[in-house]
Amino acid sequence: MERGIAAAAPGQLQTVELNYDHSSTTDDPSQIPLVGLSWVYDQWPQYDYMYREYNRTVGTPPHHLPYYLGEGDYEGENNTGRDPSTPLALRKQEYWSALGGASGQMFGNHYTWGFFAGWQNNIATVGASQFMTMSRLIGGLPWWTFVPDQGHSVMTAGYGTYSATGGQSITQNDYAPTVRSADGTLVLSYLPTVRTVTMDLGQLAGPVTAQWFDPTTGNYSTIGGSPFANSGSRQFTPPGPNASGDPDWVLLLTAASGSSTATPPPSPPPTPPQGGGGTVGYTKIGSITDSGLANTPTGSRFLSGSGGQIVSMSVHVGAVDQAPANKYQVAVYTDNNGSPGTLVGQSQTGTLAANQWNTIPLSVGLLPNTAYWFIYNTNASSANLNDMQYDNVGTNQGFYSSYAFGSWPPTLPRGIVGGWEYSMYITYADGGTVTLTQTSTPTPVPSPTQTPSPAHQPPGTPTFAPTPTNTPGNGTTVGYATIGSITDSGLANTPSGSRFMSGNGGRLASISVHVGAVDTPPRNLFQVALYTDAGGVPGNLIAQTQNGTLAANSWNSLPITATLLPNTAYWFIYNTNASSTRFNDMQYDTVRTNQGFYSSYAFGSWPQTMPQGRVGGWEYSIFATYASSR
C-alpha cells in the first residue's frame, strides 16, 4: 500500500504507527525508504523516545527524519493502567514531547476518538484547552531551532530523574527537559514539580529576561531582577502551585539580542478607517501569528469606553489563501461571564489582503463602559493562512470556538478562553478618541437561552427516583433537593457542582448529593466543599467535609461546618475518586442560567481557589441543610 501511494502520489507525506505501548516508525528499517515522518507511540515518559529519534540517523546517505507524538495517553482514557489520565499527566507528555524535539503531536480524548455518546459535549474540555495553551506557546516560538539539552549544559542542576522507557511511569517521573535555540536567544524548560533549578546563563546570547509560564492558563509572570547578565549560573524556583493547584511550570529565558517569538512580516501602523472617531480594541500588530482559524470564531474582549455607533472593524492577518478561500467576516457579541454571549451585529463578507490591516463596514451601537467580544471568522483552506496576530496577556481576554464560516449563530458555541489579545479593533463614527481598556472582570449580561449539557453527559436514559426526604439536620435546606433526570459521567477528579442563593443564611449542618451507580471500595469515596461566588464561577474555599462513603442510587450526606451570609451566592462542589467514568456520578437537570460548573483537581484535597473550569446550565442534585437553630 505504501509503495502504491508513493508511486501514485510521490509528493504525499507518509508515516506508520507500529507497536503498543512504545515504538517509532524508524524502529522498522523497512519503513525508512517509504516514510517522511516518524510516528512515535509512547505511553512512558516521552522525552526518552523523543531523544532516541533526535539522535537517530537513517537511510543512505544518513539523515534525520522529523518525528512527532502520534499517540500517548488520552484525556479520560488510559489503556495501560499505569497512569490516571489527569490534566497534569497530559501536560507532562505534551511538554516532554515538545521539548524532546518533536515537530508536533496529536491529542486524544476518550469520547471523541470513537464518537461515543456525549462526544459533542466533550470537545471544549480542560485537556483540550491546556493542549492548545501548549500549542500556542510552542507555535509562537522558533521551535524548529530547538536543541534538546541532553547533556545538562544549560540546566546544570535540579533536572530530576531521567527514566528510560519501561522505567518510571508518567505519574512517577519528575524529569525537567530543557531546549536552547541554536542562536542562543531562547531557553525553555518544563518543570513537572516545584523545585529549584540551576541555569547557566552564559549559554544565552545577551542579557536574560526570565519568565514563568503557567501551562494551565497561558499567563506569564516576569521573574524579579530581570534582565540578568548572560554569565554564570543562577537558580530559579517556581512561585508555588500553578492556577490549577498543580506543581508544573514552564521557565522561559529570552536573550535581549533576539526575539522569543516568530515575528510577522512588517506592516504599517493602523490607520483608523472611515468615520473619523476613536477606536476600541488592540491596534498593535501582535508578535505571534495564530493558526487554524478557518471555521473557528476567534477574538478578544474589550470595554467599550464611552460607547456609541461604530462604523467598522479592522483585523490584522498574515499570509492569505488564494481566492475563493480568502474571505472573512467579523461580528460583535455581548459578554456572558467571561465568554461571548449573544450576537449584537455582524458584517458582510470581505476579501483579505496579506500582512496588513483589513477593514470592513459594521454598524453596531455599543453601550458605554460595557464589555463586548470582537470575533473573526474565515474560510481558509489551510491552517497557516488567513490567521490573525495576537500577543499573550495576563487575563483571559481571548476566545475561540467552532462554527462554519458564512453565518453567525445567535449564541456562540461553547469554546476556549485564554490570555490572547488579538490584533483587532472597532472605529466609532464620531465622539473623539476612546481610551482602550482591557477588561479582566467581565460585565454580566442576561444568560443565553440555550441549555447546554455538561461536557461529560453519559449515554442511556436515567432511572427516575422519588423526591427525597431531607434527612440531615432538622432545619431548612438550600440547593437542589430534587433527583435530576440526567446522570452525569466522568466526575472523578473533577470538582463539579452548582451555585445557589443562601436565602436567610445561617449555620450549616450538612451537605447532601444524589448519585447513581457506585464503584467498589476503595473507589467509592466522596467529598464536598463550599466556595464563594466570584463573578459567576467558584472563588475561594470556605469549608470542606471529610471523606465519605457513597451509597448507590440514594442521597449521601456529610457533616459540614460553615455559616452562610443571607441572600448571598455560594457554590456547592462535589468530588470523588471513582476508577471509571460510569461510577460515583451526580444527577442534574438542565436550566436556563449558567448555574453549573466543573473543573479538574485531584480527589483528596481542595484548592484554596478553584481552578478555571466550565460553566453551563446544569443544576446538580446537591443541597445543604441548615442547623435547626439559626
Q: Is the pLDDT of residue 592 over 70?
A: no
Domain range list for the chain = 13-255, 279-438, 477-626
Architecture of the domain whose range is 477-626: Sandwich (2.60)
Query: Of 178, 185, 151, nearest to 236 (Cα)?
Result: 178
60-64, 379-383, 429-433, 538-542: range with lowest mean pLDDT: 429-433
Most confident of 25-29, 84-88, 115-119, 572-576: 572-576
Enumerate long-range contacts of 128-132, CB under 8 Å, 24 or more apart.
128/75, 128/416, 129/416, 129/418, 130/87, 130/90, 130/91, 130/94, 130/215, 130/216, 131/90, 131/94, 131/107, 132/416, 132/418
The residue-averaged pLDDT of 440-469 equals 30
Contact between 594 and 588 (Cβ < 8 Å): no
Q: Is the pLDDT of residue 546 over 60?
A: yes
The residue-averaged pLDDT of 612-629 equals 83
pTM above threshold 0.85: no
Contact between 313 and 301 (Cβ < 8 Å): no
Rg of the chain, C-alpha, whole Å: 26
pLDDT value of position 428: 87
Residue with cell 479592522: 314
Tell me the C-alpha to C-alpha distance, in Å, between residue 572 and each of 241, 398, 470, 474: 23, 28, 16, 20
The residue-averaged pLDDT of 147-160 equals 95
**Helical segments of 446-503, H only:** none
pLDDT value of position 312: 92
Q: Bridge partners of 609? A: 540
Please tell me the distance from the alpha carbon of residue 107 to that of residue 22, in angstroms, as a whole number: 16
Please tell me the distance from the alpha carbon of residue 77 to that of residue 113, in angstroms, as a whole number: 11
Q: In this structure, what are the phi and psi dihedrals at residue 27, rounded to the nearest 5 degrees?
A: -65, -20
pLDDT value of position 454: 38
249-263, 477-491, 590-604: range with lowest mean pLDDT: 249-263
The residue-averaged pLDDT of 155-174 equals 92
DSSP H/E element including 91? helix 87-98
pLDDT averaged over every residue in the chain: 84
pLDDT value of position 475: 53
Measured on CA atoms in the order 119, 124, 126, 128, is the torsion positive or negative?
A: positive
Please tell me the distance from the alpha carbon of residue 309 to that of residue 280, in angstroms, as a whole number: 12
pLDDT in tens, 344-370: 999 999 999 999 999 999 988 888 888
Specify the 3-state DSSP secondary structure of 509.
Answer: strand
What is the maximal distance between C-alpha atoms in the chain?
Answer: 85
Q: In this structure, what are the phi and psi dihedrals at residue 133, rounded to the nearest 5 degrees?
A: -60, -45
Q: Given the DSSP bridges, would you call strands 38-42 and 67-71 parallel, antiparallel or unpaired?
A: parallel
Q: How are strands ordered across the β-sheet holding 233-236? A: 155-157, 197-200, 233-236
pLDDT value of position 152: 94
Q: How are strands ordered across the β-sheet holding 356-366? A: 279-281, 424-428, 308-317, 356-366
Burial of 616 (0-12, 13-18, 19+ CB in 10 A): buried
Specify the 3-state DSSP secondary structure of 160.
Answer: coil
pLDDT in tens, 3-15: 888 888 877 889 9
pLDDT in tens, 369-378: 888 999 999 9
Q: Is the pLDDT of residue 76 over 80?
A: yes
Residue with cell 472617531: 277
Residues in Cβ contact with 224 at an 8 Å cutoff, skipping those fewer than 6 apart: none
pLDDT value of position 511: 96
Please tell me the distance from the alpha carbon of residue 309 to that of residue 330, in angstroms, as a whole number: 16
Q: Is the pLDDT of residue 103 over 60?
A: yes
Contact between 586 and 622 (Cβ < 8 Å): yes
Task: Report the interhelical angle of 126-139 vs 87-98 (nearest 10°).
Answer: 20
